[in-house]
């Protein structure tokens, strides 16, 4: 019988629980302190030269080690970073919950109040990262986690980068949730914090409308719509609609900044936030469960966050 793989001499791999473009996530057991954790095995591009591979690995490890120091209510704790078989492995808290993507697909669109409240949680997580010069680059409903204890967390900073950096190569992120400026390679035009806020706008839009603002049959067509077409006019968003339309502007300078966006979202929550205490977490960081979130038909899945490069509470 094959023995379970031991990563970093400490983490016993149990089973695969997720796979994405940037790697594989495993359920594992920390044999030193006896707790279950999630580990992301980060896959680096196979077509890199040995020197480029080494540089990207070191950059990934550096960003992940910064993330270990993160303590913010809207992110999941990063416990450890190890190298195994020349690949970075990110060890993090294992969280039970459902993604916003699952909630919308199984229960339908959320009310504008709920969507605005969730947006505020994600905004705070992004603001914390941006103050340290980090960009998420893949904000989308699938990376917003509604934990079983009522917390809202932004997950998977697996393709995070320094603001002002130029990763090069194919566009990163998810079609329909990646800002126009992140899809181009124009000299001197580099995606900054406004790109993450654009992605947040697309995420909130999807939560309240039930469909993404630029959904098309193919990834190429979706990218084209993001670059050249206006978003589908909101039908269900009410007063949240104008906020979302401004967030989805093509030009970064025309979007709200963090402070302006927070001020715009707060009056639209309808008092849905800050109502359920959850242990040691401040009540301002938890929400009561959504009706679809707590339904018997919705089986809780194990979700994990990858490299959560959120740094400080804001």
Binning pLDDT at 50, 70 and 90, where does residue 254 land? very high
Comparing 288 with 62, the larger pLDDT belongs to 62
In a domain, 312, yes or no: no
195: domain CATH number?
1.10.510.10
DSSP state for residue 229 in the 8-state scheme: S
Asked whether residue 109 falls in the same domain as residue 68, the answer is no
Average pLDDT over residues 197-205: 98
Asked whether residue 12 falls in the same domain as residue 23, the answer is yes
86: domain CATH number?
3.30.200.20
- What is the model's pLDDT at position 14? 95
Asked whether residue 22 falls in the same domain as residue 144, the answer is no
Binning pLDDT at 50, 70 and 90, where does residue 152 land? very high
Binning pLDDT at 50, 70 and 90, where does residue 304 land? very low
What are residue 302's phi and psi, to 5 degrees?
-80, 125
- Residue 223: HSE in the Cβ half-sphere, 13 Å Cα cutoff: 13
- What is the model's pLDDT at position 308? 27
pTM: 0.78
> Crossing angle of helices 258-265/193-209, nearest 10°?
20
Percent of the chain with pLDDT strictly greater than 90:
43
In a domain, 314, yes or no: no
Q: How far apart are the first and last CA of the chain?
A: 50
Number of domains making up the chain? 2
**Single residue among 94, 125, 159 that ends a domain in this structure:** 94
Binning pLDDT at 50, 70 and 90, where does residue 298 land? very low
Asked whether residue 155 falls in the same domain as residue 172, the answer is yes
pLDDT tops 70 at residue 60: yes
Average pLDDT over residues 49-66: 79
Residue entry with tokens 């279950």: 36
Asked whether residue 157 falls in the same domain as residue 30, the answer is no
In a domain, 1, yes or no: no
Q: What is the pLDDT of residues 127-144, one digit of tens each?
A: 888 887 778 888 999 889
Spatial distance between the Cα atoms of 85 and 233, rounded to a whole number of angstroms: 49
Asked whether residue 226 falls in the same domain as residue 236, the answer is yes
- 3-class SS of residue 253: helix
- What is the model's pLDDT at position 238? 96
Query: What is the distance of C-alpha 220 from the center of its chain?
Result: 22
Asked whether residue 121 falls in the same domain as residue 264, the answer is yes
**CB within 8 Å of 7: residues ≥ 6 apart:** 13, 28, 39, 82, 84, 89
pLDDT tops 70 at residue 179: yes
- What is the model's pLDDT at position 312? 27
pLDDT tops 60 at residue 291: no
pLDDT tops 90 at residue 187: no
Q: In this predicted structure, which of 32-41, 88-97, 119-128, 291-300 has the lowest mean pLDDT? A: 291-300
pLDDT tops 60 at residue 124: yes
**Single residue among 68, 94, 120 that ends a domain in this structure:** 94
The residue segments making up the domain with residue 206 are: 96-304
Catalytic residues: 138
Q: In this predicted structure, which of 67-76, 177-186, 216-225 has the lowest mean pLDDT? A: 67-76
Binning pLDDT at 50, 70 and 90, where does residue 272 land? low
- What is the model's pLDDT at position 138? 85
- Which value, in Å, is the radius of gyration of the alpha carbons in the chain? 19
Average pLDDT over residues 233-258: 96
pLDDT tops 80 at residue 267: yes
Which contiguous run of DSSP H or E holds residue 88? Answer: strand 87-99
- 3-class SS of residue 15: strand
Binding residues, by number, are 40
Q: Select from 83, 90, 82 the least CA-distant residue to 23.
A: 90
Binding residues for ATP, by number, are 40
Mean pLDDT of all residues in the chain?
A: 79
Output the CA torsion sign for 174, 179, 180, 186.
negative
Q: What is the pLDDT of residues 202-235, one digit of tens each?
A: 999 999 999 999 999 999 999 999 999 999 999 9
Count of other CB atoms within 10 angstroms of residue 1: 3
pLDDT tops 80 at residue 237: yes
Asked whether residue 120 falls in the same domain as residue 36, the answer is no
**CB within 8 Å of 76: residues ≥ 6 apart:** 92, 93, 95, 145, 153, 155, 304, 305, 308
Asked whether residue 100 falls in the same domain as residue 156, the answer is yes
């Amino acid at each position: 019988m094959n023995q379970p793989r031991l990563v970093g001499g400490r983490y016993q791999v149990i089973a695969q629980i997720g796979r994405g473009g940037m790697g594989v996530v495993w359920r594992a057991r920390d044999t030193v302190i006896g707790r279950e954790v999630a580990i992301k095995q980060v896959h680096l591009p196979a077509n890199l030269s040995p020197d480029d591979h080494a540089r990207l690995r070191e950059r990934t490890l550096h960003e992940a080690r910064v993330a270990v120091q993160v303590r913010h209510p809207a992110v999941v704790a990063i416990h450890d970073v190890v190298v195994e078989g020349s690949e970075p492995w990110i060890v993090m808290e294992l969280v039970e919950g459902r993604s916003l993507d699952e909630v919308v697909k199984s229960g339908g669109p959320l009310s504008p109040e709920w969507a605005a409240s969730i947006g505020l949680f994600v905004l705070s997580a992004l603001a914390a990262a941006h103050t340290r010069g980090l960009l998420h680059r893949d904000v989308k409903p699938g990376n917003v986690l509604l934990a079983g204890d009522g917390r809202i967390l932004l997950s998977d900073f697996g393709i995070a980068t320094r603001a002002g950096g130029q990763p090069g190569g194919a566009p990163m992120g998810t079609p329909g949730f990646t800002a126009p400026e992140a899809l181009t390679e124009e000299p001197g035009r580099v995606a900054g914090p406004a790109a993450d806020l654009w992605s947040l706008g697309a995420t909130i839009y999807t939560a309240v409308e039930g469909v993404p603002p630029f959904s098309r049959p193919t990834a190429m067509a979706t990218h084209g719509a993001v670059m050249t077409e206006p978003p589908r006019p909101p039908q269900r968003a009410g007063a949240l609609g104008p906020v979302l339309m401004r967030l989805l502007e093509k030009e970064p300078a025309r979007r709200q900044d963090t402070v302006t966006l927070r001020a715009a979202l707060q009056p639209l929550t309808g008092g849905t936030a800050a109502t359920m205490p959850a242990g040691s977490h401040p009540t301002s960081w938890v929400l009561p469960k959504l009706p679809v979130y707590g339904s018997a038909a919705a089986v809780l899945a194990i979700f994990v966050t990858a490299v959560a490069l959120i740094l400080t509470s804001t």
